[in-house]
Amino acid sequence: MSAAREQILATIRRARGAGDDATFHAAAEQRLQRRPRGTIPARVDRAPAALVDLFVEQARALSATVDRVASAADVPAAVADFLARENLPATLRAAPSPEIEALPWQDRPALTVTYGRSDGQDEVSLTPAFAAVAETGTLMLRSGPGHPTTLNFLPDTHIVVLRASRVVGSYEAGWAWLRDAGAMPRAVNFVSGPSRTADIEQTIQLGAHGPRRLHIVLVEDGDGR
């Protein structure tokens, strides 16, 4: 359909009137390089520890549950306890990321942990988080060989292991880290609480198509804690 492409672009250029495209677009080119930020809300203007607290407060307000643990070594126990509390089976479909694989799952042998994507038969998934945005209590999940996207959406319960040092204030700070981490992944999922809908008489119901439950295990590996 390149005739369509040319015609559409020609219409756009005609609307602008005569002029050298390259010179005119120099400003846009520079802007793309500069990537200016807009106003960042003042609420994220706080020290890292306070940002973590803000993240937790916001996430809980969105019906995510948050467990704060002192170190990575405590994660398997925290997960096992959560599953028991919620009457969920002691089976996890986990993201094959080094961070998750390195956790001491052997401390909880009753937990069955398998790694890979989800095919829709898993009740509980467990993934890492690339970052978390304190501004709105939002997790930033980055797809890749260590983090299949289906784990974020198919299972009924999604558990996220989040390191406190990965909490940032704003989305812009998250993007800066993402750019440093390499090429754009296939999917960046910003997740704020469990799935929900208000499509039936405007009453909010959790668990529309994505997970009904979002549980965050927050590992306090940050500064000053």
Partner 1 sequence: MEATSRTFKDNARRALVEPDLQQALARMKAGFVVNRAAAVARLPEFDALRDEARAIKNHTLAHLDFYLERFEQAVTAQGGHVHWCRTAEEARRTILEICRSVDAKMVTKGKSMIGEEIAINDYLAANGITPVETDLGEYIIQLRHEPPSHIIAPAIHVTKKQVADSFYAAHTNLDAARKLEEPRALVDEARAMLRQRYLDADVGITGANFLIAETGSTVIVTNEGNGDLTQTLPKIHIVTASLEKVVPTLEDASTILRVLARSATGQEFSAYTTFSTGPRRAEDLDGPGQFHVVLLDNGRSALLGTELQDILRCIRCGACMNHCPVYGAVGGHAYGWVYPGPMGAVLTPTLIGVEEASDLPNASTFCGRCEEVCPMRIPLPKLMRHYRERAFDKGLTPPLPRLALALWAFLARRPRLYQALTAIKVRVLGALGRKRGRFHAIPFAGGWTRHRDMPAPEGRTFQRLWDEAGGAR
Question: Which parts of 17-46 interact with partner 1 (CB under 8 A)?
Answer: 17, 21, 24-25, 27-29, 31-32, 35-39, 41-42
Q: How many residues bind partner 1 (CB under 8 A)?
A: 78
DSSP 73-92: GGHHHHHHHHHHHTT--SEE
Residue span binding partner 1 (CB under 8 A) among the ranges 46-54, 106-114, 123-131, 168-176: 168-176
Tokens coding 145: 């060989």
Is 153 a binder of partner 1 (CB under 8 A)? yes
Q: Cβ closer to partner 1: 65 or 192? A: 192
The CA-atom distances, in angstroms, between 129 and each of 35, 62, 65, 95, 159 are 25, 17, 15, 10, 10
Given 57, 107, 199, 223, the residue binding partner 1 (CB under 8 A): 199
Is 101 a binder of partner 1 (CB under 8 A)? no
CA distance 28 to 37: 15
What are the residues facing 114 on neighbouring strands? 93
Tokens coding 96: 């094959």
Is 99 a binder of partner 1 (CB under 8 A)? no
Q: How many residues does the chain have?
A: 225
Residue span binding partner 1 (CB under 8 A) among the ranges 81-89, 161-169, 206-214, 217-225: 206-214
Is 47 a binder of partner 1 (CB under 8 A)? no
Q: Measuring CA to CA, which residue among 72, 41, 73, 68 is closest to residue 52?
A: 68
Paired sense of beta strands 205-206 and 196-197, if any: antiparallel
The interface with partner 1 within residues 57-86 (CB under 8 A) comprises 58, 62
Element (H, E) at 178: helix 171-180
Given 18, 23, 98, 120, the residue binding partner 1 (CB under 8 A): 120
Is 210 a binder of partner 1 (CB under 8 A)? yes
State in angstroms the smallest separation of the CB of 195 from partner 1: 4
